[in-house]
Amino acid sequence: MKITSQAKYFDGKTSKPHFVELEVFLHNQVTFYFENRRLVWNFQDIKFEKNGEILSITKKDNLHEIIKIENPETADTIYKSAKTSQNLSWYQNILDFGPKFYLTAFVSVITLIACFYIFIIPYVSEKVTDILPISFDEEIGNTNFQQIKSTSDIDEKQSEKLQEFANLINFATDRKLYFKVINDEEVNAFALPDGTIVVYSGLLSKVENPNELAALLGHEATHIKERHSTKILARSIAGYAIVSLVVGDVNGIMTTLANNANELNNLSFSREFEQSADKGSYAILKQNKINPEGMYQLFKILEKSDNLEVPKILSTHPLTKDRMNYSKTLMDKNEYSFSSNPELQKAFDNLKK
């Protein structure tokens, strides 16, 4: 079948539009006269692109030679004929599925991402952590510790005493734990994946009995036992990877990787991991027959030093109030009997001297 149509032709040499009479043999070829020559464009040598109602036809080997058909009906007929004769690119065909397709595709993309976030990333990071040898944790932790060492003031004497105190507690782990005291006013403590537990002197000075200190060390030791740092690292890299993919910003992944390597010690644990560490701390107290009230009192100290409380949803740490309630319920359970441990008390007094 043949149709004829008015069209604009650009010859790729100047911007002057040439008005030509187009003869289109559907499914086959486009021909027209230009400067007294008959030009023949076969369907398989040309590209069809529809923009709004205008159809642009370009030669595949010279995209600067363009035919434009502005009559909507003719444009549509030619486009359809290109489609049925399979001369459209796969991409045009996908786009032609229309809004219904986009919406379905869109919903599936969102569902896919949500599944990734909620189920797959935590699962994968758990598995990846299982596969990674402990030496990985040790290496990262050690690199971090070297950095911390160079920027902070480690009190070797106090560290030794803290280590002595901790040695009296059974943390129920094969991992070697190293205890360090850093001279710093901040009321804080943290655990590095290589087994180093750092307590700031600011927090140490506020702790009043061995039970509180044991609860604190138990909490930090649980972070190490359960490899929370490594899990968080795996999660955040996987999470960033997904986000970058979706946004089409693959380059962003490189930046993320670089940032993560440097900012390991700034990674905060999620609330989930903090709760798990509180639980682990309780188990350690129980095993060592230490008064669980220590945990409650510890949170009281933290509460006092928290002058500004972030609403729960924004905070990575569970709210101290919630943690106090949690420890109170544990305490009220009266699950086990405890006795004061003179050895532990002695080591504690020595530390507080």
Q: Is 275 helix (H, G, I), strand (E, B) or coil?
A: helix
- The smaller minimum CB distance to other proteins, of residues 67 and 166, is found at 67
Question: CA-to-CA distance for 201 and 190, rounded, in angstroms?
Answer: 12
- The smaller minimum CB distance to other proteins, of residues 248 and 342, is found at 248
> Nearest Cα to 96, choosing from 112, 84, 111?
84
Question: CA-to-CA distance for 66 and 60, rounded, in angstroms?
Answer: 10
The minimum distance between CB 139 and other proteins, in angstroms, equals 8
- The smaller minimum CB distance to other proteins, of residues 168 and 264, is found at 264
Question: CA-to-CA distance for 191 and 197, rounded, in angstroms?
Answer: 4
Please name the residue that has the structure tokens 């990575």.
316
- The smaller minimum CB distance to other proteins, of residues 31 and 142, is found at 142
The minimum distance between CB 180 and other proteins, in angstroms, equals 19
Q: Is 41 helix (H, G, I), strand (E, B) or coil?
A: strand
Please name the residue that has the structure tokens 């797959």.
120
Q: Who contacts 203 (Cβ-Cβ below 8 Å, separation ≥6)?
A: 186, 187, 188, 189, 216, 301
The minimum distance between CB 140 and other proteins, in angstroms, equals 10
The minimum distance between CB 246 and other proteins, in angstroms, equals 6
- The smaller minimum CB distance to other proteins, of residues 253 and 267, is found at 253
The minimum distance between CB 65 and other proteins, in angstroms, equals 6
Contact (CB, 8 A) for 292 and 327: yes
- The smaller minimum CB distance to other proteins, of residues 10 and 25, is found at 10
The minimum distance between CB 131 and other proteins, in angstroms, equals 19
Please name the residue that has the structure tokens 């307590």.
199
Footprint of other proteins on this chain (CB under 8 A)?
8, 10-17, 49, 51-52, 54, 56, 58, 63-66, 68, 91, 94-95, 98-99, 101-102, 105-106, 108-110, 112-113, 139, 143, 146, 244-246, 248-251, 253-254, 257-258, 261
